[in-house]
Amino acid sequence: MVGPCTHGRWLLLALAVGACADKASPGPGTEHHTGRDSASTHDSDAVHDSAPPLDSHPPVDSPPPTDTVDTSDTAPVEPGCLEVDARLDQLSTHSVDGLPGTSDGLSGQLILAETDTSTDAWVLGRAAVLPGGRPSDGTIARYPGLGAPEAWLGIDPSEGELEVLARGDLDEVSGSDLVVGIEHPGLVGARVVVLSAGWGAGNVLDAGLRFESDATGASPLPIVADTDGDGGPDLHIGWKGELERWSGRLPDGDYTAGDGDQVLTGSTRQWGVGGDVDGDGYTDLVVATYEGPALIRGSAGGLSSTVDTPDHRFDSGEDGGADIGGIALGTSAAGDSLVAIGRVAVEADDSIVDVWTGLEDDVARVTIGETGRATIGWANLDGAPGDELVLGRVPTSATAGGLWLFAGLEATPMRVSAEGSTGVVGPLFQSWPTGEDRDALVVVDPWGAAERHPRLYTIDPCGIR
């Protein structure tokens, strides 16, 4: 719980991958945004389609020991940070209850939003169950200060499926709003709604600010980012055939796709993030397309290219953009932008993530020695300059889960697993301020470790001894 995949602090979620192929984490200065394919192509290994039921939890096994992480190519880290594998039972002091009433492993995204008085965690769980037992096609829970949830949003299955979460101050009421992308049954009438700060329990469609498309297959991709540099967040929505930008705050009401302040031609897929990739001071968009990951530069006049003819394309290999498993932006020790593109690892030695430094041609290929795909994100976990790569995967009958934390892109990752098993502490994760010069991670464990009850955890790698 890979923004929407910001560094205030974003990371997340997401996302989900391996079994959570459709969800990922955001990058610094952005939210993590993911969702279903605009062309309605569903990844067959997505968690909501292929994750095993709770009664088929992977066999219990102690996680195998790994070699100490080689940090020779990174800045020195505090002893204990990113060095040794750990299980959730070693992190019990960091755990908090969460997610009562959910049932499907919570494929979706985790979005953290810091308010004036507390910190809220918002979780979207698809095909979940509300506290009263009523089934829904998505549930969003609000956790003030990461305590027990106090508010739930749901949607009737006949009204749509919750797909994407984003965050930003978009309406005329000051405060952080929750942005939700909704795919309508039959793939007609996709919507994006903006719930004003301080939202309470109820139907997600009760939002005062609504956007709708009448295009078939227009699964929406909302991205909140200040791409025109005026200091206020802009709402970008990728629909089928177009990506539009709505600038500045908007009054409540109903809006139609294609009526934005700027409309670009071309279809986005399920991944998109915002950040200053080229270093010119303006926030850019990196979005997934069937032609591969595309960069659209921001400027004082708005976005400077289209989805079909972007400013830059990252090499996507012979499969084009069909196997993209997420996009996340981080920062290197030198202050450069890092662009991480998730991949499908067909063979164990295939890269599961490729990383570019800005728009440079050089790429770091990250492997974990396993096949599949993983949710990706960045966080500063050791207090040294630069972000660390984080991967998360939920277990399925075919793949083991895990949370992989990299001290360096070439280093052997530290792995956090579920209590007493090779399971995962969640494909949904996001950075969390510790009050020091480093982040912890807030993570959803969809299996609830040995208890098989989904839980929310905070994990501080520097607290592992």
DSSP string for residues in 70-103: --TTS----TTTT-S-EEGGGGGGGEE---TT--
Please tell me the predicted confidence (pLDDT) of residue 112: 82
Residues 7-53 have pLDDT tens digits of 333 333 333 323 333 333 333 333 333 333 333 332 323 323 323 23
- Beta strand extents in 297-435 (DSSP E only): 312-313, 327-331, 337-342, 353-357, 363-366, 375-379, 388-393, 402-406, 414-417, 428-433
Burial code (b: 16+ CB inside 10 Å, e: under 16) for 109-140 equals: bbbbbeeeeebbbbbbbbbbbbeeeeebbbbb
Please tell me the predicted confidence (pLDDT) of residue 118: 63
* Chain centroid to CA 293: 16
Please tell me the predicted confidence (pLDDT) of residue 161: 85
Please tell me the predicted confidence (pLDDT) of residue 465: 55
Question: Hey, CA dihedral for 69, 353, 54, 180, is it positive or negative?
Answer: positive
DSSP 333: T
Classify strands 151-154 and 202-203 as parallel, antiparallel or unpaired: parallel
Residues 6+ positions from 390 with CB-CB distance below 8 Å = 11, 25, 376, 377, 378, 379, 381, 403, 404, 405, 406, 429, 441
Residues 6+ positions from 22 with CB-CB distance below 8 Å = 14, 15, 16, 34, 35, 36, 42, 43, 46, 47, 48, 107, 270
Domains and CATH numbers, the chain: 47-56+91-323+420-460 (2.115.10)
CA 220 – CA 21 distance, rounded (Å)? 17
Cis bond leading into 9, ω under 30°?
yes
How many C-alpha atoms does 324 have within 13 Å on its Cβ side? 34
Residues 6+ positions from 318 with CB-CB distance below 8 Å = none
Which whole-number Å values give the CA distances from 220 to 26, 420, 445, in the listed order?
A: 17, 39, 27
DSSP 18: B
The pTM of this model reads 0.79
Residue 113's closest CA among 144, 139, 140, 138? 144
CA 152 – CA 259 distance, rounded (Å)? 31
- Amino acid in the structure at residue 378: W
Residue 126's closest CA among 1, 308, 241, 296? 1
Please tell me the predicted confidence (pLDDT) of residue 361: 81
Residues 6+ positions from 12 with CB-CB distance below 8 Å = 1, 2, 3, 4, 5, 24, 25, 26, 32, 109, 110, 111, 375, 377, 428, 429, 430
Residue 86's closest CA among 378, 384, 368, 403? 403
- Spell out, as residue ranges, where the chain has pLDDT lower than 70: 1-80, 88-107, 114-118, 125-136, 187, 317-322, 394-397, 418-426, 445-455, 464-465
Residue with tokens 């630069």: 386
Cβ contact 8:93 at 8 Å:
no
Please tell me the predicted confidence (pLDDT) of residue 22: 33
Residue 19's closest CA among 396, 342, 323, 325? 396
